[in-house]
């Protein structure tokens, strides 16, 4: 089931919303058979010291004891910086012997939050393929692009920014047939592939 959002990407595609189940079941590759999400969640609640558990006793990610908009009314470099720590914690909690992660999560150290972005401006966050040689361009190494903002009314701008990033990824490597992206506005996250949003 898709719902039209009334937006179009720079490439002219309409932006639709789909259910989380559809995204997880249809678009994402299956998890390794040894991975059990409920066990990983329990581990995230137990690992580390009491003052530095990835998921706190209030069921919040460490570093996000309050919503981003309550901490910083305007987006800045520090607003979502703790997401790198969250990603590292999730990777550690889900480790499987003999397997290495295929992606690494990074926040852009020099994000362009306002206007003035171009095809050389990397997204606010990105997941980089660990198996790609460093001789490749930055866009060829990015598998998933992400955009942040603390205000929910920035959703349309984030949709366009992540669409542009996905277009740059696809344009840079013509062999690539798809890419993923995400947007975060305060506490709302949407996952996407070229034309599907949730």
* pLDDT value of residue 48: 87
Note whether 177 and 193 are within 8 A (CB).
Answer: no
Query: Is a pLDDT exceeding 70 seen at residue 143?
Result: yes
Phi, psi of 98 (to 5 degrees): 85, -5
Decide: residue 44, CB within 10 A, 0-12 exposed, 13-18 middle, 19+ buried.
Answer: buried
pTM: 0.81
- d(Cα 181, Cα 197) in Å, to the nearest integer? 9
pLDDT value for 56:
92
Question: Once rounded to an integer, what is the mean pLDDT over residues 144-158?
Answer: 81
Question: Is the predicted pLDDT of residue 3 greater than 80, yes or no?
Answer: no
Mean pLDDT of 107-115: 79
Most confident of 48-52, 93-97, 153-157, 172-176: 93-97
Closest CA to 187 of 162, 151, 157: 151
């Amino acid at each position: 089931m898709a719902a039209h959002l009334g937006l179009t990407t720079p490439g002219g595609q309409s932006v639709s919303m789909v259910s989380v189940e559809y995204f997880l079941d249809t678009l994402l590759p299956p998890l390794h058979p040894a991975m059990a999400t409920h066990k990983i969640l329990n581990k995230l609640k137990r690992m580390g010291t009491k003052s530095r558990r990835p998921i706190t006793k209030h069921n919040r990610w460490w570093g996000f004891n309050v919503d981003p908009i309550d901490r910083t009314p305007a987006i800045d470099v520090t607003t979502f910086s703790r997401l790198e720590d969250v990603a590292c914690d999730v990777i550690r909690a889900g480790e499987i012997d003999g397997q290495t992660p295929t992606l690494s999560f990074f926040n852009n150290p020099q994000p362009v939050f306002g206007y003035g972005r171009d095809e050389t401006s990397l997204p606010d966050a990105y997941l980089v393929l660990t198996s790609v040689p460093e001789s490749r361009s930055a866009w060829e190494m990015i598998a998933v692009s992400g955009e942040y903002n603390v205000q929910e009314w920035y959703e349309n701008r984030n949709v366009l920014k992540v669409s542009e990033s996905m277009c740059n990824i696809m344009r840079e490597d013509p062999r690539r047939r798809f890419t993923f992206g995400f947007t975060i506005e305060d506490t709302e996250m949407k996952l996407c592939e070229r034309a599907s949003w949730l």
